[in-house]
């Protein structure tokens, strides 16, 4: 494996070899803290710093969408003290950073089942999304109380209601109609999925949306994931051949752009 300190872009890289949308499972915060004899929340706090540190590089590398898994539907099973601190960290980060996000023309989306959160936080999220709605420099999506199965279930329920009300027939249900009911319906599908922290699994993140996404796993704990590690992930992405079900020969004869293969945002 090449060093994380190699330079990017490689000589042959073209824009089509750069991911437009990156989805990240930020794993390893707890182990990062434990190694330093710190409480787990210290690892999550450093995780927020790691997000802030890579933001400028995302923009220089032309990444337009970053989607982060901050709290899964299953994370409620953690000790309640950690759950409380994690949600407080999310709320305080939102409060402290929203102005800077807006100044930097970043559009914030929060996806997931927010109904379980205090109304004040739900309102703050709604205001933040409304404030940044027209921003176009980068699309930052935070998944919180999110699960891929939850997302698919709520999309299916919405379609079933349409059928029940006879607004559509069951035959009208297609992959694109289902995708239009997912809470990522206005995002392109991720080109690159990064998971830090050494585990090699998707953990109920964007189950539908990751169908053709390139997967990248690294042992680096999320708080240590810096610009050089990020560039390493981009290099690995650039070295992959995306085939979307076609053969290598077909791709060589007529390269496909990810945008052409993946459904466009609504
Ligand atoms: C996984 O590490 C990480 C999480 C469950 C939470 C990640 C959340 C943040 C970085 C803060 C999010 C806040 C904002 C505003 C985006 P882990 O705890 O499972 O680590 P371990 O596997 O080493 O125990």
What is the position in ligand 1's atom list of the atom closest to the CA of 97? 15
Q: Is residue 231 part of a domain?
A: yes
Per residue in 74-115, pLDDT (tens digit) is 999 999 999 999 999 999 999 999 999 999 999 999 999 999
- Least Cα distance to 27 among 212, 209, 193, 259 occurs for 193
Burial of 50 (0-12, 13-18, 19+ CB in 10 A): buried
Whether the pLDDT of residue 182 is over 50: the answer is yes
Q: Residue 160 C-alpha to ligand 1 middle, in angstroms?
A: 34
Q: Is residue 248 part of a domain?
A: no
Task: Tell me which of 63-67, 126-130, 132-136, 249-253 is least confident.
Answer: 249-253
User: Per the structure, how many domains does the chain have?
Assistant: 1
Q: Is residue 217 part of a domain?
A: yes
The residue count of the chain comes to 266
Q: Is residue 34 part of a domain?
A: yes
Q: Is residue 109 part of a domain?
A: yes
pLDDT of residue 265: 46
Whether the pLDDT of residue 184 is over 70: the answer is yes
Average pLDDT rounded to a whole number, residues 153-162: 98
Q: Is residue 171 part of a domain?
A: no
The CATH number assigned to the domain holding 134 equals: 3.40.1180.10
Cβ–Cβ under 8 Å, residues 51 and 24? no
pLDDT of residue 258: 54
Binned at pLDDT 50, 70 and 90, residue 262 comes out as low
> Which residue range is the domain that position 138 belongs to?
18-145+189-237
pLDDT of residue 14: 47
Binned at pLDDT 50, 70 and 90, residue 236 comes out as very high
Residue with CA at minimum distance from ligand 1 atom 24:
30
Cβ–Cβ under 8 Å, residues 147 and 73? yes
Per residue in 48-72, pLDDT (tens digit) is 999 999 999 998 999 999 999 999 9
What's the whole-number average pLDDT of the chain?
91
Provide residues with CB under 6 Å of ligand 1: 26-31, 44, 47-48, 51, 68, 70, 75, 89-90, 93, 142, 197
Whether the pLDDT of residue 4 is over 70: the answer is no
Binned at pLDDT 50, 70 and 90, residue 243 comes out as confident
The values of phi and psi at residue 67, to 5°, are -120, 120
Q: Is residue 176 part of a domain?
A: no
Cβ–Cβ under 8 Å, residues 88 and 99? no
**pTM for the full predicted model:** 0.89
What is the position in ligand 1's atom list of the atom closest to the CA of 40? 18
Q: Is residue 124 part of a domain?
A: yes
Task: Tell me which of 16-20, 86-90, 144-148, 206-210 is least confident.
Answer: 16-20
């Amino acid at each position: 494996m090449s060093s994380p300190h190699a330079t990017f872009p490689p000589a042959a890289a073209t824009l089509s070899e750069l991911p437009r949308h990156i989805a990240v499972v930020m794993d390893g915060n707890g182990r990062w803290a434990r190694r330093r004899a710190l409480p787990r929340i210290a690892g999550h706090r450093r995780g927020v710093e790691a997000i802030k540190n890579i933001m400028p590089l995302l923009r220089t590398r032309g990444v337009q969408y970053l989607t982060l898994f901050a709290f899964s539907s299953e994370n409620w099973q953690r000790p309640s003290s950690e759950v409380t601190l994690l949600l407080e960290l999310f709320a305080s980060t939102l409060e402290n950073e929203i102005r800077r996000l807006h100044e930097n023309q970043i559009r914030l989306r929060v996806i997931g089942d927010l109904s379980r959160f205090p109304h004040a936080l739900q309102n703050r999220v709604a205001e933040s999304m409304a404030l940044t709605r027209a921003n176009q420099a980068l699309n930052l999506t935070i998944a919180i109380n999110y699960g891929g199965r939850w997302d698919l279930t709520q999309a299916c329920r919405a379609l079933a209601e349409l059928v029940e009300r006879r607004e559509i027939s069951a035959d009208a249900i297609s992959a694109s109609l289902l995708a239009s009911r997912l809470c990522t319906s206005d995002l392109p599908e991720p080109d690159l999925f990064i998971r830090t922290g050494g585990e090699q699994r998707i953990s109920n993140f964007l189950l539908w949306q990751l169908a053709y996404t390139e997967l990248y796993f690294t042992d680096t704990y999320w708080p240590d994931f810096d610009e050089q590690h990020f560039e390493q992930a981009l290099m690995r992405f650039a070295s992959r051949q995306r085939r979307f079900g076609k053969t290598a020969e077909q791709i060589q004869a007529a390269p496909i752009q990810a945008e052409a293969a993946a459904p466009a945002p609504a």
